[in-house]
């Protein structure tokens, strides 16, 4: 992609005149895990053509936390090498540090090779937390590279442990230990001794040596199997947590719509307030449509049906209440702000209960 040109998204159906960084659906899916991990430390800065995230992270070997900045551009001022802009953000940490894996123009971290296949690169589907962890690891490897006189290359060409496959990270240290144990057990010197014992006719010693080799190999296989099972269990739990967060965001979208009548009743009657309220309601409906489509495509039929019923019931009840609220007089005094009693939402609450039961069953299944 040439610098300065509008960034075309990899997602089908998205037009260039509404860039990905300001779409609530994109932000929700990107930020979910990072918000759980870093909470209020994760700062979001929205600009007309740039979305920036800033967060302090702890890096092994450093006493002070390191500030990481991640910039997503609508029209990147740098070369994306053919990748969509959202798959090639700028990541900054420890400005001015010496490293062979920094961009020459602005000092951004060089975290992956653009020509690598998708599974070897960070992508938005991996989430913001994985990108933050990748930057943290990169800073650690840079520190190690400098501390050892540049003898160990800084790692940055592949995904972090949160995005890697079992063969590329995550439990790779355990696999390496298992392979090392097997290799040590079957070292050439061991086989040389076995051959010598065979030549000498010492069968008992030969059998003992072979059993030792087989035992070491078996131990390595068991260690690798345990590591794989632990990794798979960890991945299942991570996917469950991400899905639970997504479900909660979907419920919140309908709840935001149900709260709209209160916002209308508390407006001050100005044209600006009217525009803000209508834009707020429009954004909520867009989020509900996104979640409904996602449930229909990726969710179970039970959850998708229950969510559609919840959304439809909530919009029906809140829609009538909004019509009434628009006809009421605007709020001019503080004493008029309290509503007194909550607006009825019996049908919405029933649909919500059925939806939560369906979601819980899907998460526990």
Q: Does residue 284 belong to any structural domain of this protein?
A: yes
- pTM here is 0.43
Asked if residues 224 and 170 have their Cβ atoms less than 8 Å apart, the reply is: no
Q: What is the pLDDT of residue 193?
A: 58
Same domain? For 224 and 239 the reply is no
Q: Does residue 166 belong to any structural domain of this protein?
A: no
Q: Is the dihedral of CA 223, 226, 231, 234 positive or negative?
A: negative
Domain boundary pick from 89, 113, 147: 147
Same domain? For 248 and 217 the reply is no
How far is the CA of 321 from the CAs of 255, 259, 327, 344, in angstroms?
Answer: 14, 10, 10, 9
> What is the mean predicted confidence (pLDDT) over 180-206?
54
Distance of CA 26 to the CA centre of its chain: 11
More reliable by pLDDT, 243 or 67: 67
Domain boundary pick from 208, 228, 248: 228
Which tens digit of pLDDT belongs to each residue from 50-72? 999 999 999 998 999 999 999 99
> What is the mean predicted confidence (pLDDT) over 173-188?
44
Same domain? For 107 and 187 the reply is no
Q: What's the chain's average pLDDT?
A: 80
Q: Does residue 158 belong to any structural domain of this protein?
A: no
Domain boundary pick from 86, 114, 147: 147
Which tens digit of pLDDT belongs to each residue from 71-104? 999 999 999 999 999 999 999 999 999 888 899 9
Closest CA to 329 of 275, 271, 251, 268: 268
The single-letter DSSP state of residue 109 is B
> What is the mean predicted confidence (pLDDT) over 331-351?
84
Q: What is the pLDDT of residue 210?
A: 67
For the chain, the domain total comes to 3
Same domain? For 183 and 84 the reply is no
Same domain? For 84 and 140 the reply is yes
Q: Does residue 161 belong to any structural domain of this protein?
A: no
For 176, the token pair is 């390496």
Q: Does residue 184 belong to any structural domain of this protein?
A: yes
- Host domain of residue 177: 172-228
Q: Does residue 8 belong to any structural domain of this protein?
A: no
How far is the CA of 289 from the CAs of 67, 100, 238, 285, in angstroms?
Answer: 36, 46, 26, 6
What phi and psi values does residue 81 have, to the nearest 5 degrees? 55, 40
How far is the CA of 18 from the CAs of 6, 48, 80, 127, in angstroms?
Answer: 11, 11, 19, 21
Same domain? For 197 and 239 the reply is no
Q: Does residue 200 belong to any structural domain of this protein?
A: yes
Distance of CA 238 to the CA centre of its chain: 10
Same domain? For 328 and 251 the reply is yes
Which tens digit of pLDDT belongs to each residue from 254-289? 999 999 998 888 888 889 988 999 999 999 999 999
d(CA 41, CA 92): 17
d(CA 249, CA 239): 15
What phi and psi values does residue 267 have, to the nearest 5 degrees? -65, 160
More reliable by pLDDT, 28 or 155: 28
Q: State the greatest distance between any 2 C-alpha atoms of the chain, in Å, as a whole number.
A: 106
Same domain? For 238 and 360 the reply is yes
Closest CA to 355 of 283, 280, 299, 317: 299
> What is the mean predicted confidence (pLDDT) over 236-244?
83
Same domain? For 238 and 354 the reply is yes
Same domain? For 251 and 345 the reply is yes
Q: Is 106 helix (H, G, I), strand (E, B) or coil?
A: coil
Q: What is the pLDDT of residue 43?
A: 93
Residue in the structure block whose two tokens are 């998460």: 363
Same domain? For 224 and 238 the reply is no
Q: Does residue 58 belong to any structural domain of this protein?
A: yes
Which tens digit of pLDDT belongs to each residue from 140-177? 999 988 888 865 444 443 333 344 333 333 333 433 44
For 197, the token pair is 């014992």
- Predicted confidence band of residue 200 (pLDDT cuts 50, 70, 90): low
Distance of CA 2 to the CA centre of its chain: 27
Sheet holding 50-57, edge to edge: 43-46, 50-57, 66-73, 90-93
Same domain? For 304 and 241 the reply is yes
> What is the mean predicted confidence (pLDDT) over 193-214?
62
């Amino acid at each position: 992609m040439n610098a300065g040109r509008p960034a075309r998204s990899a997602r089908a159906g998205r037009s260039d005149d509404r860039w990905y960084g300001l779409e609530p659906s994109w932000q929700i899916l990107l930020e979910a895990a990072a918000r759980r991990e870093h909470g209020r430390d994760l700062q979001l800065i929205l600009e007309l053509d740039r979305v920036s995230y800033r967060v302090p992270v702890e890096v092994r070997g450093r006493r002070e936390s390191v500030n990481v900045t991640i910039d997503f551009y609508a029209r990147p001022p740098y070369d994306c090498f053919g990748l969509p802009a959202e798959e090639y953000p700028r990541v900054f940490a420890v400005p001015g540090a010496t490293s062979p894996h920094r961009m020459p123009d602005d000092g951004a971290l060089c975290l992956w090779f653009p020509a690598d296949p998708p599974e070897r690169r960070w992508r938005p589907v991996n989430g913001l937390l994985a990108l933050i962890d990748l930057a943290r690891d990169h800073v650690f490897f840079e520190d190690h590279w400098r501390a050892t006189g540049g003898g160990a290359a800084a790692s940055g060409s592949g995904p972090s442990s949160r995005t890697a496959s079992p063969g590329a990270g995550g439990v790779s240290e355990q696999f390496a230990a298992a392979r090392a144990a097997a290799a040590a057990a079957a070292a050439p010197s061991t086989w040389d001794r076995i051959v010598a014992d065979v030549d000498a006719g010492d069968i008992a010693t030969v059998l003992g040596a072979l059993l030792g080799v087989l035992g070491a190999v078996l131990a390595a296989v068991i260690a690798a199997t345990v590591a794989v099972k632990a990794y798979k269990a960890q991945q299942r739990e991570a996917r469950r947590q991400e899905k639970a967060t997504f479900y909660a965001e979907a419920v919140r979208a309908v709840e935001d719509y149900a709260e709209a009548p209160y916002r209308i009743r508390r407006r001050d009657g100005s044209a600006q307030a009217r525009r803000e309220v209508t834009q707020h309601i429009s954004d909520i409906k867009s989020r509900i449509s996104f979640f409904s489509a996602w449930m229909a495509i990726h969710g179970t039929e039970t959850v998708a049906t229950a969510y559609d019923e919840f959304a439809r019931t909530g919009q029906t009840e809140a829609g009538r209440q909004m019509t009434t609220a628009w006809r009421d007089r605007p709020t001019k005094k503080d004493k008029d702000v309290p509503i007194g009693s909550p607006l009825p939402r019996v049908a919405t609450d029933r649909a919500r209960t059925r939806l939560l039961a369906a979601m819980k069953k899907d998460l526990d299944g």
